[in-house]
C-alpha cells in the first residue's frame, strides 16, 4: 500500500505559486514609447564630467592660491599641460592661472581686465579700488614687509649663484643678523628668536616660506618673487637702512642698492 505524501505547508505553496506566476510588469522590448524617456546612463554622465586630474588641480589652486612642482608634480603637470582648460574653469570667477615654469610654480591671479564697476552690489571697495569678492589683499606689518624684502633679496642672490629654480634654504640664525641692520634687538636673544619665529610663521601662511624644521632651517618658496612689487621692497630696505644708520650717509645706501636689486631678467 503506497504511503500518502504529507501535505505541503503554507511556505511550500507560496514558493510554488511564485515560480508559476510570470513577472509583472513584463520586460519592455525595443525603444521606449513616444513621449517616454530612456533610463539615465550613469556611465555617460560620468564621461561628461571634467577629468579628475583637472578637477583636483583647480581645487588645489583655489585652496592655496599656488601649486608647486616640487610638492605636487602630478597636479602641476596637469596645470602646465592644460592651462587653457584651467583658465576656462576659472573664467567665471574672473581669475586665471599664471605659470613660472622656470621655478616650477603655478599661481592664481585676478584677470588683468577685472572691474567691478558694473556690479551695483559691490560696496566694499577699499582705498586702492580693490573689490574682488573672492580675493582679499593681505596687509603686512612693517616687520613682516621687512622680512619679505630680506628673504626675497636672499632668494634672488642664491638664484644668481646657483641658477634659477635652485632650492633656497636658510637657517633662522642667519636671518637674525640681517634684521639687526634695520631694527634694534630687544636685548634678549630668546625674545628676538621668538619674534623671528612668529614672523616666519605668519609668512608661511602666505606661501612665502616653509615650516621651520627641527634644525631651525626653512625653505624660501618661489612665490616670494611674485608676492610684492620689488621696487617697493627695495625702497623699504633703503629707507629703513638710512634711518638705522644715518651716519653712513647716502653714498653707502646707494652702494648697497646695487646688490639688493635683482637682475632685469629675474625681476617681476
| Nine-digit cell string for 140 | 603686512
pTM over 0.75: no
* pLDDT confidence of residue 235: 76
Q: Which of 56, 45, 266 minimizes the C-alpha distance to 168?
A: 266
* pLDDT confidence of residue 180: 81
Domain ranges of the chain: 52-110, 142-260
Query: 142-260: what CATH class?
Result: mainly alpha
204-224 tens-digit pLDDT: 988 889 999 999 999 999 999
Query: Phi and psi at residue 13, in whole multiples of 5°?
Result: -70, -40
Q: Are 220 and 154 in contact (CB under 8 A)?
A: yes
* pLDDT confidence of residue 98: 95
Give the chain's residues under pLDDT 50.
Answer: 120, 122-123, 127, 249-260, 262-268
Amino acid at each position: 500500500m503506497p504511503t500518502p505524501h504529507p501535505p505541503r505547508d503554507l511556505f511550500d505553496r507560496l514558493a510554488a505559486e511564485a515560480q508559476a506566476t510570470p513577472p509583472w510588469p513584463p520586460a519592455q522590448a525595443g525603444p521606449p514609447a513616444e513621449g517616454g524617456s530612456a533610463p539615465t546612463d550613469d556611465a555617460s554622465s560620468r564621461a561628461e564630467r571634467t577629468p579628475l586630474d583637472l578637477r583636483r588641480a583647480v581645487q588645489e589652486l583655489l585652496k592655496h592660491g599656488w601649486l608647486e612642482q616640487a610638492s605636487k608634480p602630478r597636479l602641476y603637470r596637469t596645470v602646465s599641460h592644460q592651462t587653457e582648460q584651467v583658465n576656462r574653469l576659472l573664467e567665471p570667477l574672473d581669475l586665471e592661472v599664471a605659470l613660472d615654469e622656470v621655478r616650477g610654480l603655478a599661481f592664481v591671479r585676478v584677470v588683468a581686465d577685472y572691474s567691478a564697476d558694473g556690479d551695483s552690489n559691490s560696496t566694499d571697495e577699499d582705498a586702492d579700488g580693490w573689490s574682488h569678492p573672492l580675493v582679499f589683499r593681505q596687509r603686512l606689518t612693517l616687520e613682516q614687509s621687512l622680512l619679505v624684502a630680506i628673504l626675497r633679496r636672499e632668494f634672488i642672490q642664491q638664484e644668481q649663484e646657483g641658477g634659477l629654480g635652485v632650492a633656497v634654504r636658510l637657517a633662522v640664525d642667519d636671518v637674525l643678523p640681517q634684521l639687526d641692520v634695520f631694527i634694534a634687538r630687544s636685548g634678549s636673544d630668546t625674545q628676538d628668536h621668538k619674534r623671528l619665529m612668529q614672523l616666519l610663521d605668519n609668512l608661511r601662511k602666505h606661501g612665502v616660506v616653509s615650516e621651520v624644521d627641527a634644525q631651525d632651517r626653512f625653505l624660501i618658496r618661489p612665490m616670494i618673487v611674485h608676492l610684492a612689487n620689488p621696487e617697493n621692497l627695495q625702497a623699504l630696505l633703503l629707507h629703513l637702512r638710512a634711518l638705522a644708520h644715518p651716519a653712513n650717509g647716502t653714498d653707502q645706501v646707494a652702494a648697497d642698492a646695487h646688490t639688493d636689486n635683482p637682475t632685469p631678467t629675474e625681476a617681476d
